[in-house]
Each structure stands twice: as C-alpha cells, then as structure tokens.
Amino acid sequence: MRSGELRVFVNEKPVSVTRGATVRDAVEVFDRELAGLLVSGAAHATDGVGRPVDASDPVGEGGAIFRVVVTARQGPPRLSKDLLRRWPKAELHVHLDGCLRPQTMLDLARSQGIRLPADTPEALARALSVQGSRSLEEYLAKYEITLSVMQTAQALERIAYEFVVDAAAENVRYVEVRYSPALHRPALTLTEAVEAPLRGLGRAAAETGTKTGLVVCGIRTLPPSVSLELARVAVDYKDAGVVGFDLAGAERGHPAREHRAAFEYAARHGLGCTCHAGEGDGPDSIHQALHDCGAQRIGHGTRLGEDAGLLEAVVERKIPLEMCLISNLHTRTVASLAEHPFKRYLERGVRVTLNTDSRLMDGVSLTDEYFHAHAGLGLGKEALAGVVLNACESAFLPEYEKVALVARVQSELEAL
Ligand code: ADE
Ligand code: ZN
C-alpha cells in the first residue's frame, strides 16, 4: 500500500483509498454501481457496529468496516447529512470543554508549554475519542485533557468563539453551551472564568447571527458549597449572557439533592435550571432532579422509561429532555442505537430534543445526531422538524425572544 493510503473493508472485502476519502469513495472502489445506488438512496451503509453512515462521511481510520445493502424498501428518499446540515437547528446540551478544535488544542498546548497525548489534529482527535468507554466515569476522564489547555482567559474566549462559529456553519441558530467555572481555578477566578467565554460567545454571535446562552454547571463530585458559589456567580452574570444552571459529573453515588440550595438560588433569581440525570444512574436520579432540585429540563433522562409514573409526569409537565444519542452509546447508557428510547419517548409525547454533548470526544456534529435519529431510529422529516422546534421552545430565553426564535426557525423549515 502506498503512503497516504488506507485499507478499509466494504462488505468484507479490503479496498484501498486515500486518507480523507469518503464512504462513497470506498464503495466506488469496491463496486461502482453500488456506489451509485448508495448516492441515489437505493442502498444504505452502516459501520462496523451497525450504525448508519452517510455516503459523504469520511472513512476515518484504516481497518474501518462498512456494510452496504441494497434496499427494496419503497418510501420517501432518505434525508442526507448534507440536507440536514442545511436545516436550521437549535442545541441545548453541549459542553464547552468537549468542543475544542484539535488544532486549537495543539496551538494552546504549544503556547502554554503543555504536553498532549498526540501532536497532529487527527491523532489528537483519536486520543480524545470516548468510543470504547465502559462507563460515564471513564468517559468523563477525557475532559481532564481538554481542561488542561483551558486554564487561561484567552483560551476560554477563543474556544467559545470557535465553537459558535463551528455550530453556525451547520446552521445552528440558537445554542446553549455549558461548562463549570470551578474547573478553571486556581488559574482563574470564577468571574474571570465566566467573563472570558462570554466575550467569545458575544463576538461569535455578532459575526454569525447565531444566538447563544451560557449555562454554568455545578459538579456532583465537588462539595455542595461550590455549587452554591457557582449558582451565585451565574446569577451575577444573568443579564450578561448566562441563562442557566446545571449539575454535571459522575451521577451514581453523588445525589443531586445535596446540591438543592444551588438550584434554589439559581431559580429564585430567574435562571433556567437543568440537571444531568438518568444517564449514569436510574429514574430515582431524575426524580430528585425534578422534585428535590426543581429542574425545568433534564440532561439526557435516557432511563426515564424505567419508571412509568415518572414518564407520565414528564409528559404532563412538558419537561424537555436534552437527549444525546451518540454520547449515550459511548457512556454505555444504552447498548446500541436501535435500543435508544428517543423515538419511543417522542411518540409517547415527551418533549425530546437532540444534542451532541461533546463534539470532539463523541466525534459528532448536531447534523450527525439528526442523521442518526433519521437513519438509525427511523424518524421522518415531520418528526425531526418537530424535534428542532421542541429545542427552540425549550430554550432558556425570555418568552418574547423564544417566540421570535420559534417563528424564525419554523419559517426557515417550511421554506426548505
Ligand atoms: N460532563 C461532561 N459530559 C458529561 C456527561 N455526559 N454527563 C455528566 N457530566 C458531564
Ligand atoms: Zn452533558
């Protein structure tokens, strides 16, 4: 094999492609006619673990496996990633410390004299991938690496700015991004750690037109007094871009109710409250988030269906779930995409939304999440458009701004 070439497998046969080739290119080497069917929607491809892939996806690593089958299925043509990228979208659940550009990490590490596990963007993205994690706790360990280069105000500002530019490039019209200022001490004070990303978000919003909000996270494994401190600083910046308060971190053995004072303070002062729950632990954790902490939205909520009464209450109270399909695979919250309850909850009337959680570590874009909901779970165009509007309606925005966002996105969706 020549240098710059990769060997991947299509329907069990090895084929050589150049680095950066797409799935379509690989299938074309295997069988030109089959590639034509793939592009026209008459054939579909999956990866080595059965997840749907788009013809335009990069093949990624050498050794990657693809299966392509011709479908006799009649029905509406499959939505391509290209089309879904053009859809206007909104995202409510994404971690700033999970969304760095690999090249930016390398730049920051060089200027700060920090060693990273790899020295090219591709190798760094591989080293930070959470594919193959065995639990939420193992998944979270990768954040130590991204956080290592995020301990200056300039770094935080740049990362926030670039994140919004990247989100805007896939037509995200509104995004709430979260992180914990406590994880930037002692290098920065809490106020420095809040002001820096707000500067980046403001600059990117002005340039791209994408609306942004910052969500401050308490961390379950830190003392509740730190969560209260964080809720206070979040409230101090309420009129300067902070829109909400969240609780993140390892879930099992670290109950949300211990952090209730922080939620109470945030809610009393008009911040939106959300809480990661039902991801690394069961429905009792969701119950605590809603009933002890007063969360208005739930981060993930994947295990909600294990408690029928709670599921009913979530439907009745229109509690939005910030669901993240691929992240749930990586944390082993679900065993496979096919088993993900997203579609079931949607059909049951839960206000579900789609989110990335971590673009870098999970290796997904918001477009990818919509593509997986479509090609992997079978959601059609109407249902997906409803999910986009669910996200807009669940934004931590004043009512009049929310109405404007919903109207704008709805008319853009109709014009497509
Ligand atoms: N922090 C970053 N990602 C997280 C996740 N998926 N769950 C809880 N805390 C997190
Ligand atoms: Zn999260």
> pLDDT of the chain along its 416 residues, tens only?
677 899 999 999 999 999 989 999 999 999 998 998 898 888 999 998 888 999 999 999 899 999 999 976 656 668 999 999 999 999 999 999 999 999 999 999 999 999 999 999 999 999 999 998 999 999 999 999 999 999 999 999 999 999 999 999 999 999 999 999 999 999 999 999 999 999 999 999 999 999 999 999 999 999 999 999 999 999 999 999 999 999 999 999 999 999 999 999 999 999 999 999 999 999 999 999 999 999 999 999 999 999 999 999 999 999 999 999 999 999 999 999 999 999 999 999 999 999 999 999 999 999 999 999 999 999 999 999 999 999 999 999 999 999 999 999 999 999 99
Task: Let me know whether 231 and 359 are in one domain.
Answer: yes
Q: In CATH, what number is assigned to the domain containing residue 397?
A: 3.20.20.140
Q: What ligand has the least distance to the C-alpha of 98?
A: 1
Tell me what pLDDT residue 321 has. 99
Q: To test ligand 1's pocket by mutation, which of 357, 360, 361 has the most ligand atoms within 8 angstroms of CB?
A: 357
> From ligand 2's centre to the CA of 279, what distance in Å?
9
Q: What ligand has the least distance to the C-alpha of 298?
A: 2
**Residue 79, in any domain of the structure:** no
Tell me what pLDDT residue 1 has. 65
Task: Let me know whether 221 and 365 are in one domain.
Answer: yes
Task: Let me know whether 202 and 349 are in one domain.
Answer: yes
Q: Is the separation of the CB atoms in 84 and 51 below 8 Å? A: no
Domain finish residue from 15, 48, 74: 74
How many C-beta atoms surround the C-beta of residue 180 within 10 A? Answer: 27
Tell me what pLDDT residue 34 has. 93
> From ligand 2's centre to the CA of 85, what distance in Å?
22
Task: Let me know whether 238 and 372 are in one domain.
Answer: yes
Q: In CATH, what number is assigned to the domain containing residue 24?
A: 3.10.20.30
Task: Let me know whether 223 and 310 are in one domain.
Answer: yes
Supply the DSSP string of 35-68, one letter for each residue: HHHHHHTSEEEEETTS-EE-TTSB--STT-EEEE
Q: What ligand has the least distance to the C-alpha of 280?
A: 1
Phi/psi for 277 (5° steps) reads -165, 150
| Amino acid in position 231 | A
Task: Let me know whether 109 and 25 are in one domain.
Answer: no
pTM for the whole thing?
0.94
> From ligand 1's centre to the CA of 1, what distance in Å?
41
Task: Let me know whether 292 and 366 are in one domain.
Answer: yes
Task: Let me know whether 62 and 138 are in one domain.
Answer: no
**By residue range, what is the domain housing residue 173?**
84-415
Residues with beta carbon inside 6 Å of ligand 1? 95, 136, 140, 143, 248-249, 276, 279, 327, 357-358
> From ligand 2's centre to the CA of 225, what distance in Å?
21
Task: Let me know whether 163 and 65 are in one domain.
Answer: no
Task: Let me know whether 47 and 178 are in one domain.
Answer: no
Ligand 1 atom closest to the CA of 280, numbered from 1: 7
Domain finish residue from 74, 93, 117: 74
Ligand 1 atom closest to the CA of 299, numbered from 1: 7
**Residue 252, in any domain of the structure:** yes
Task: Let me know whether 198 and 337 are in one domain.
Answer: yes
Ligand 1 atom closest to the CA of 97, numbered from 1: 2
Q: Is the dihedral of CA 326, 330, 336, 339 positive or negative?
A: negative
Tell me what pLDDT residue 238 has. 98
Catalytic residues: 279
Domain count, the chain: 2
- Nearest CA among 83, 100, 99 for reference residue 91: 99
Q: Is the separation of the CB atoms in 63 and 79 below 8 Å? A: no
Interior/surface letters 49-85, b for 16+ CB within 10 angstroms, e for the rest = eebbbbbebebbeeebebebeeeeeeeeebbbbebbb
> From ligand 1's centre to the CA of 244, what distance in Å?
16
Q: To test ligand 1's pocket by mutation, which of 95, 286, 323 has the most ligand atoms within 8 angstroms of CB?
A: 95
Ligand 1 atom closest to the CA of 248, numbered from 1: 9
| Amino acid in position 234 | A
Which are the contacts of 108, defined by CB distance < 8 A and separation ≥ 6?
114, 149, 150, 152, 155, 158
**Strand-strand pairing, 13-18 and 5-10:** antiparallel
Tell me what pLDDT residue 41 has. 83
H helix or E strand, kind and range, residue 354: strand 351-354
- Distance of alpha carbon 216 from its chain centroid, rounded? 16
Alpha-carbon distance of 41 to 360, in angstroms, equals: 29
